[in-house]
Amino acid sequence: MALHIVASCTSCWACLPLCPHEAISVARPHFQIDSARCTECAGDYADPQCASICPIEGAIVDSTGQALNPPGSLTGLSPVNHPNSPFQSLT
């Protein structure tokens, strides 16, 4: 049970000080979660802290690769006008 940070992370620092297990570290090219330490915040908080402040959709995923903040969930931008959307070129 651990979350992972993926390439879209902008290294904004927001998550790092919040982790109750100091599982998050500064790394290149992006921040990293130590899976041995991450508990997904179970027992500490109702929601995983890193994923609750992360401003980037898709930057934090669970062990199955599912984004905790899927496209549109943070910016409110629908898939069509989302900057990374394949629909973008059609509009």
Partner 1 sequence: MELLSQPPVNGSSPALHPCYSEQAHRHFARLHLAVAPACNIQCHYCNRKYDCSNESRPGVVSEVLNPEQATMKALAVGAAIPHLAVVGVAGPGDPLANPERLFATFRELAVKAPDLTLCVSTNGLALPEQVDELVKYRIGHVTITINCVDPDIGAKIYPWIFWNHRRIRGRKAAEILIAQQQKGLEMLVERGVLVKVNSVLIPGINDEHLHEVHRVVKAKGAFLHNLMPLIARPEHGTYFGLTGQAEPTEEQLRVMQEAWVGGEGETQMMNHCQQCRADAVGMLGQDRGAEFTMDKVATMQVDWQAALEKRTTVRQTIERRMALQSQFLDKVAKKPIPLPVRRPRTIAPQTLRMAVGSADGRTIDAHFGHLREFLIYDVSSDGVHLVERRRTDRYCSGPTTCGDAAPALSDTIRALDDCAVLLCSRIGFEPWRPLEEAGIQPNSEHANETIDAALAAVYREWRDSGRLDVEDTALSRSSA
Binding region for partner 1 (CB under 8 A): 10-14, 17-18, 45-47, 49, 52-53, 55-56, 74-77, 81-83
- 27: its two tokens: 């790394």
- Tell me which H or E stretch contains 25: strand 24-25
Tell which one of 25, 40, 65, 81 touches ligand SF4 (CB under 6 A): 40
Examine residue 54 and tell whether it contacts ligand SF4 (CB under 6 A).
yes
Q: Least distance (Å) from ligand SF4 to the CB of residue 74?
A: 10
Specify the residue, 12 or 42, whose C-beta has the smaller distance to partner 1.
Answer: 12
What CA–CA distance (Å, rounded) separates 83 from 44?
35
| Cβ neighbour number for residue 44 with a 10 Å cutoff | 12
Q: Which long-range contacts (CB under 8 A, 24 or more apart) does 65-72 make?
A: 68/3
Q: State the residues that interact with ligand SF4 by CB under 6 A.
A: 3, 5, 9-15, 18-21, 23-24, 31, 33, 38-41, 48-50, 53-54, 56, 59-60
